[in-house]
Amino acid sequence: MKILKFAPLAELNCVLEERFRRTEGRFKAVENQFHLANDLVVPPYFGALAARALQYLQAGFPVHLTGPSGVGKSTYALYIASQLNRRVTLIHGNHEMANDDLLGAAIGFSHKKTVDNYIRTVYKKEEEIKKLRVDGPLIEAVKNGHTVIYDEFTRSRPEMNNLFLSILEEKVLPLYGRTEKVSYVPVHPGFSMIFTSNPAEYAGVFQTQDALLDRLITIHLDRYSLEEEALIVSEKAEISQEDAGFVVGLVAAVRESAGNGNYGPGLRAAIMIATIAKRNQIPFHSDDEAFQSLCKDILTYPVSRNLSLSGKHEAQRIIQEAMLRVTNGETAT
């Protein structure tokens, strides 16, 4: 399994346009700092999938990565984007997103006044008022051929996402509601898009219009294997593979006992437990009180969400039992 050491993505030729920074966060859809996992673990499955996704993008088709929370969708998307070697624009879906956030908006007026009173008897005055607009991140991306990662796109309202229909099919970005003569921007040949989403049954997620889904190559991501998860956790938290295996096995056993399937605690919870335990020199041992409390704090809520009203106590019982099982060498499937 490959382990890549990555610099922050910002250094990977993924700088956002200075102009947007100067608009003081007006374009809330864009973040100007984000990081690819510092220690990116590339299991064979991940590498093969990323290579295929790259082929699809290079052939001009957008890719959509979907799967439960924490299976690595954003990480894959950033990794694939970094392979394309073009600037990256990152958009986060949210229910408040509006066209202006992506296309830009009027930010005021410029005013020019010329008064010519050189000859006292003649008074000449000219005034010009111009609307000032700032292009939004999507216009820049489309014009300059960036790779756009639209993370959690189903958290934006479906009507908001209509914009992408013509970008992806007709290769033009229509500029609705503008007074300028040009009413669309042609899409640069180097432009490509990677979408990510959680399944439709997740809270806060909107149904996607079929027309958009029809344009995307949708790839379902499954959880990493326990061995892969252990390697990721050991790299991220800088702990031994044995300790990482124990934490990952514990989280998996808890998820299994709680019947959470795809939706229970996963890789993120394991990374949290491992990082905090390492930082605070808490032994990775189920007999250790501090370790038990840490696991309960992190795992109780995601486990109890699926349980009945007695959730909290039931969840803690499940966690305690899972600790014993994993300590006794019983592994989750």
Ligand X SMILES: Nc1ncnc2c1ncn2[C@@H]1O[C@H](COP(=O)(O)OP(=O)(O)OP(=O)(O)O)[C@@H](O)[C@H]1O
Which chain residues interact with ligand X by CB under 6 A? 37, 39-41, 46, 69-75, 196, 198, 232, 236, 267-268, 271
CB of 245 to ligand X, least distance (A): 16
Q: Which is nearer to ligand X, 62 or 70 (CB)?
A: 70
Rama region for 50: left / alpha / beta (φ>0; ψ in -120 to 50; rest) = alpha
Q: Do the Cβ atoms of 152 and 116 come closer than 8 Å? A: no
What region, left, alpha or beta, does residue 24 occupy, with left being phi > 0 and alpha being psi -120 to 50 degrees?
Answer: left
Least distance CB 154 / ligand X (angstroms): 11
| Count of alpha carbons within 13 angstroms of residue 116, beta-carbon side | 6
Measured from the CB atom, the residue of 46 and 191 that comes closer to ligand X is 46
Q: Smallest distance from the beta carbon of 204 to ligand X, in angstroms?
A: 12
Rounded to the nearest whole angstrom, what is the least distance from the CB of residue 152 to ligand X in the complex? 6
As measured in angstroms, the least distance from the Cβ of 147 to ligand X is: 16
C-beta closer to ligand X: residue 93 or 104: 93
Q: Name the token pair of 59.
A: 């052939």
User: How wide is the angle at C-alpha 27 spanned by C-alphas 23 and 32, nearest 5°?
Assistant: 85
As a whole number of angstroms, the distance between CA 122 and CA 266 comes to: 79
| Tokens standing for residue 278 | 């390492």
Identify which of residues 43 and 136 has a Cβ nearer to ligand X in the complex: 43
Residue 159 DSSP class: G
Which of 59/203 has CB closer to ligand X? Answer: 203
